[in-house]
Amino acid sequence: MAVNLDKEAYYRRIKRLYSNWKKGEDEFGRVDAIVVSVGVDEEIVYAKSTAIQTWLFGYELTDTIMVFCDTKIIFLASKKKVDFLKQVAVTKGNENANGVPPITLLTREKNESNKANFDKMIEAIRGSREGKTVGVFSKDKFPGEYMKSWNDTITAEGLEKVDISAVVAYTMAVKEDGELGLMKKAAAITSEVYSKFFKERVMEIVDADEKVRHSKLAESVEKAIEEKKYLGGADPSTVEMCYPPIIQSGGNYNLKFSVVSDKNHMHFGAITCAMGIRYKSYCSNLVRTLMVDPPQEMQDNYNFLLQVEEELLKQLKHGVKISDAYSTVLEYVKKEKADLVAKLTKNLGFAMGIEFREGSLVLNAKNQYKLKKGMVLSISLGFSDLVNKDGKKDEQKKYALFIGDTVQINEEEAATILTPVKKKIKNVGIFLKNDDEEDDEEEGDDAEELLGKGARSAALLADRTRNEMTAEEKRRAHQKELANHLNEEARRRLTEQKGEQQIQKARKSNVSYKNVSQMPREKDIRDMKIFIDKKYETVVMPVFGIATPFHIATIKNISMSVEGDYTYLRINFYVPGSYLGRQEGNIFPNPDATFVKEITYRASNLKAPGDTSVPSTNLQNAFRIIKEVQKRYKTREAEEKEKEGIVKQDSLVINLNRSNPKLKDLYIRPNIAQKRMQGSLEAHTNGFRFTSVRGDKVDILYNNIKHAIFQPCDGEMIIVLHFHLKNAIMFGKRRHTDVQFYTEVGEITTDLGKHQHMHDRDDLYAEQMEREMRHKLKSAFKNFIEKVETLTKEELEFEVPFRDLGFQGAPYRSTCLLQPTSSSLVNVTEWPPFVVTLDEVELVHFERVQFHLKNFDVVIVYKDYNKKVTMINAVPVNSLDPIKEWLNSCDIKYTEGVQSLNWTKIMKTIVDDPEGFFEQGGWSFLDPESEGSGAEEDSESEMEDETFNPSADEEEEEEEDSDEDYDSETEDSDYSASVGSEEESGKDWDELEEEARKADRESHYEDEDTSSKKRKVRSVAPPSKKKRRS
């Protein structure tokens, strides 16, 4: 069985089991050994025996007997399962195995009675403590001769059986962080399926007045979990239903999870729905009641049920006895609405985990167990047999209300809900009727039938527009809240940062010689010639007859020219006020000193009598050597600058185990050397190591990974694992914050000269092979990711981009598909990669949003205002609404405008005077509805930035990327040069706008004549200059 077993989890959990057994509480105190026997029964979904196997090993092991004795553990299983269990049986060199009893593995004989193996296990039981009683799970009864013969052996030996289901359940009930992560994921998937599928389907049924049976609707929910779009990125093979969905309506209600959906048609009244989804063996549960046209009394009872749930959540805390929590809730119901006590469900929920319902941890009046932090419960409360006084038909007279959630127990706070599906009246009520319709209905019961589908649809549509608001209105309302919060949060953040002045780095002061004794005593210096001291990287020049040293760092550039009989060497130096480039450290330590700007030397090209060489030889040699030393110095400085600010990483702890997760034949980007080379990526204790074929090593630690992104090969030519790092790492003499490992999955190039034929066997075979290869690669990468997540106990989680939410854009030179993940916006298939962390984003602004343009630009402003904004150009306008919807769902404020703004100047203005910026309304100046100072600032920025320049756009982007600040003179000249007759076209536009306004005033346009006005404005206005960009 080539399956890995999580050894660390096994050791932790077996220690916990033995620890509780040794404490001897409840039934644990009565047993001398524990026996867990699992047979084969397809009909059994939940059993304590299989649950403890899943808990310990991560898998169910059929036809396996486990005997836990005081000093040893015995497993009897088939050969394949024994091979699998050897991973934990061999404890040599594993510290975590300390304190765990040794394991003995017995191989089951298929065709024999297994008497010898049974005798060995009975002998072990007899030798454990007193050897008289065994702990078993009495409810688990598996069929088959193998299980029968084992049970007969225990009975024949006269061993007393004690049911330990409850105490083992209590041991497993407290979940580890990894288990909690799986249950949260299961709860999230359940919420998605309910919200995006079930609720929407019920709305459609009510809208179209369809007749749908409960059982059919339940089946459609089960099919929905096979579709990826409802699973939040989870693999459908890891998802299953905990139980068939239970949908009830029309007066027939049974508020239990053991019932099934009947074949009656859904009635448009109170519709209860219970569904639970299991993810990687861990369960979740959700119950909601949808109400169509609920009368006021039904609404009041439902609101009271929500209050009862709130009261229950407050009681569910660490250390609280389950019966006490139940009693407090019951007292609350008695006090507030005593008539509903008899209608309340007999229990309020149960513990949940690998098993859906833990029978020994039910929330009722008798349960004496205490709740513990880390437990996960399914709480479910309801009122049944309620009477609807307004009901005229049988199915309308009785109704029930039922709600439930998956919750996690905390230390001191109220329990946390893991299924945050909204459940207020406005979220679950579907209101169809108005007052006139109610009056009509009183005249006769047949009035509803006369209304027909059209009236019902119209009523539902009216309800949606009246009560639920359109998607755009919802977005606007939410954005308004975000805008207020954004300004307050930004003001607070900048106030805290006040006083922390940015330290400007002074230019490095290089001293040639610390004292005179270090000066070289060379003949050239005595002869007043130029001498280059390579050791100290210094040029010694004669100045007014004195040998004067200048460090190579002070020399800006040198040039040599020959004019007639003389050679001239001109040396320019760095001085304050000269252009020093955009690099850091332009500030001189002592700018008020006197500086030499340039020196020119002249030497004859003619050889004088008695001279050994031509005088100009010294200048020529000096020119060559200065260039060499300068190059060497600049290379070293560049390397030091790359290393600057590099955070020292911990050392990689190598795991010598051969079963480490490993991927072979991967390429790394960026390349380690000039040529790309393959290598393998291996996961160790605290990080990854990539080893190339020639032996280069790149280490990436788990705690330095900000985003781990897995880009599948669906629709792509490569499959990628991308790591966006918190702190840069050095390799290949450069610093990198983005490292990715990929392999190609198809032909990157296509032979256009080859004759194509749809039935060409070679082509069909090649396509089939490529499909198989894609599938194999995807499986290998997924397997690697799952192993790594298990190894890191879910601390490192790989994000998968949501391709359905992706949109085209050009963050760099070329257009690519940008895809959101759960915490970022990425493109990792093109190089350089694009990764934006959503938590770092302050707001997003859309530029050039106009009805006649095909594209617009996206500007991402970060919470760190000193960080340069990110521009995404050429986004298709049909992506605007989906992007808005996505940003809104991520609680990110967005704005839009028709202008292209000068963001460098805007951000500098904000950083220079943050208080003044927020006093004038802060970011509200970007909103199209804003007026006053914001609008003026907007227009001012437009004037400064002049008109958007389509032709020079890419070049300007490059300049912005390399240059942090703007130089006003160069900016103006660049703009005017590239645009040409910019001023003239601007005047034409203003004149035409003025003409349009005059025409409007003269013809006395009124508001109601909007359509003709639009036509006229469009005919008068010329195409926008910005349109040329598309």
Render pLDDT for 977-1013 as a digit per residue (tens, 0 to 9).
333 433 333 446 767 777 787 777 665 444 444 443 3
Mean pLDDT of 666-688: 91
Burial environment of residue 226 by CB neighbours within 10 A (0 to 12, 13 to 18, 19 or more)? exposed
Residue 234, pLDDT score = 83
Residue 3, pLDDT score = 73
Q: Does pLDDT of 112 surpass 70?
A: no
Q: Identify the helix (H) or strand (E) that includes residue 77.
A: strand 73-77
Residue 167, pLDDT score = 93
Residue 889, pLDDT score = 87
CA atoms within 13 A on the CB side of 296: 0
Q: Does pLDDT of 458 surpass 80?
A: no
Confidence class for position 508, pLDDT limits 50, 70, 90: low
Residue 394, pLDDT score = 80
Residue 730, pLDDT score = 87
Residue 930, pLDDT score = 52
Residue 308, pLDDT score = 95
Of these ranges, 386-395, 542-551, 576-585, the one predicted with the greatest mean pLDDT is 542-551
Residue 273: CB atoms within 10 Å? 24
How many whole angstroms separate alpha carbon 913 and alpha carbon 364? 62
Strands, E assignment, 782-884: 798-799, 807-809, 816-820, 824-827, 834-837, 841-847, 855-862, 870-876
Residue 433, pLDDT score = 53
Helix ranges, 684-760 (H): none
Q: Does pLDDT of 1014 surpass 50?
A: no
Q: Does pLDDT of 739 surpass 80?
A: yes
Contacts of 480 (CB under 8 A, 6+ apart): none
Residue 26, pLDDT score = 85
Mean pLDDT of 31-57: 90
Weakest mean pLDDT among 342-351, 645-654, 840-849, 863-872: 645-654
Q: Does pLDDT of 459 surpass 60?
A: no
Q: Does pLDDT of 903 surpass 90?
A: yes
Mean pLDDT of 47-55: 93
How many whole angstroms separate alpha carbon 872 and alpha carbon 859? 6
Residue 608, pLDDT score = 81
Confidence class for position 442, pLDDT limits 50, 70, 90: very low
Residue 189, pLDDT score = 94
Token pair for 910 = 């904000």
Token pair for 644 = 């600057």
Confidence class for position 530, pLDDT limits 50, 70, 90: very high
Q: Nearest 5°: CA angle at 117, between 113 and 121?
A: 130
Q: Does pLDDT of 1021 surpass 70?
A: no
Dihedral angle of Cα 265, 267, 273, 277, to the nearest 10 degrees? 30
Average pLDDT, whole number, for the chain? 82
Q: Does pLDDT of 970 surpass 80?
A: no
Which of residues 33 and 996 earns the better pLDDT score? 33
Tell which residue, 85, 77, 66, 88, has the closest CA to residue 134. Answer: 66
How many whole angstroms separate alpha carbon 914 and alpha carbon 964? 20
* Region of 1005 on the Ramachandran plot (φ > 0 left; ψ -120 to 50 alpha; else beta): beta
List phi, psi (to 5°) of 153. Answer: -65, -45
Q: Does pLDDT of 756 surpass 60?
A: no
How many whole angstroms separate alpha carbon 849 and alpha carbon 959? 24
Weakest mean pLDDT among 210-224, 611-625, 765-779, 948-962: 948-962
Are the C-beta atoms of 814 and 830 separated by less than 8 Å?
yes
Looking up tokens 């003025």 gives 994
Is the backbone peptide bond immediately before 670 cis, with ω within 30 degrees of 0? yes
Q: Identify the helix (H) or strand (E) that includes residue 678.
A: strand 678-683
Which of residues 503 and 61 earns the better pLDDT score? 61
List phi, psi (to 5°) of 201. Answer: -65, -40
* Region of 655 on the Ramachandran plot (φ > 0 left; ψ -120 to 50 alpha; else beta): beta
Q: Does pLDDT of 332 surpass 70?
A: yes
Q: Does pLDDT of 358 surpass 60?
A: yes
**604-620 core/surface letters (b: 16 or more CB in 10 A; e: else):** ebeeeeeeeebbbbbbb
Mean pLDDT of 861-885: 93
Of these ranges, 175-179, 492-496, 966-970, the one predicted with the greatest mean pLDDT is 175-179
Weakest mean pLDDT among 188-202, 371-385, 1001-1015: 1001-1015
Weakest mean pLDDT among 304-313, 412-421, 771-780, 975-984: 975-984
Residue 331, pLDDT score = 94
Q: Does pLDDT of 536 surpass 90?
A: no
Confidence class for position 959, pLDDT limits 50, 70, 90: very low
Confidence class for position 964, pLDDT limits 50, 70, 90: very low
Tell which residue, 215, 207, 205, has the closest CA to residue 246. Answer: 215
Q: Residue 827's beta-bridge partner residues?
A: 834
Q: Does pLDDT of 936 surpass 60?
A: no
Q: Residue 700's beta-bridge partner residues?
A: 688
Q: Residues of the chain with pLDDT > 90: what percent?
A: 49
Q: pLDDT per residue over 577-634, tens digit each?
A: 765 544 444 557 777 788 899 999 999 998 888 777 888 899 999 999 999 998 888 8
How many whole angstroms separate alpha carbon 546 and alpha carbon 664? 66
Residue 612, pLDDT score = 79
Residue 825, pLDDT score = 96
List phi, psi (to 5°) of 479. Answer: -65, -35
Mean pLDDT of 751-774: 71
Are the C-beta atoms of 159 and 126 separated by less than 8 Å?
no
- Please indicate, yes or no, whether the overall pTM of this predicted structure exceeds 0.75: no
Helix (H, G, I), strand (E, B) or coil at 979: helix
Confidence class for position 824, pLDDT limits 50, 70, 90: very high
Mean pLDDT of 407-422: 90
